Amino acid sequence: MFNSLIRYKAEKERQLFIKNCTAFDTPRLENETFPADCKADMDIVYKEGNKPLKLDVYTPFGCVGAKECFILIHGGAFVYGFKKLDQNFGMHLAIKAGIPVVNVDYTLAPESDISQIITEIFKAMNFVYIKYGFKKFHTVGDSAGGYLAYVTAIAARSRHVAHRFWVFDRLKGTVESAGLICPGIKNNPKGFPGIYFEKHVDNSTEPARLPDYAYDLNLIAEQDSGLRVAVIAGEECFLLEQNRQFKENLSNVMYYEGRNEGELKMFHVFPVAHPEWPQSVKAIETIAENAVGRR
DSSP result, 223-279: S-TTSEEEEEEETT-TTHHHHHHHHHT-SSEEEEEEPPBTTB---TTHHHH-TTSHH
Give the pLDDT confidence of 122-173 residue by residue, as tens digits. Answer: 999 999 999 999 999 999 999 999 999 999 999 999 999 999 999 999 999 9
Instruction: Write down the pTM of the prediction.
Output: 0.96
pLDDT of residue 223 exceeding 90 = no
Indicate the Cα dihedral angle 274, 96, 41, 47, nearest 10°: -80
pLDDT of residue 200 exceeding 60 = no
pLDDT of residue 295 exceeding 70 = no
Work out whether strand 174-181 and strand 136-142 pair parallel, antiparallel, or are unpaired. Answer: parallel
Q: In what order do the strands lie in the sheet with 101-104?
A: 38-47, 53-60, 101-104, 68-73, 136-142, 174-181, 228-234, 253-258
Q: Name the packing angle between helices 114-132 and 144-157 (round to 10°).
A: 70
pLDDT of residue 224 exceeding 80 = yes
Average pLDDT over residues 53-60: 98
Work out whether strand 228-234 and strand 253-258 pair parallel, antiparallel, or are unpaired. Answer: parallel
Contacts of 121 (CB under 8 A, 6+ apart): 71, 73, 104, 106, 148, 152
pLDDT of residue 203 exceeding 80 = no
Tell me how far apart the alpha carbons of residues 139 and 155 are, in angstroms, rounded to a whole number: 12
Q: Indicate the range of 48-57, 61-70, 159-168, 205-214 predicted with least confidence.
A: 205-214
What are the extents of the domains in the chain? 2-32+66-293
- Cβ 149 vs Cβ 73: under 8 Å: yes
Under CATH, which number does the domain 2-32+66-293 receive? Answer: 3.40.50.1820
Work out whether strand 136-142 and strand 38-47 pair parallel, antiparallel, or are unpaired. Answer: unpaired
Confidence of residue 201 (pLDDT cuts 50, 70, 90): very low
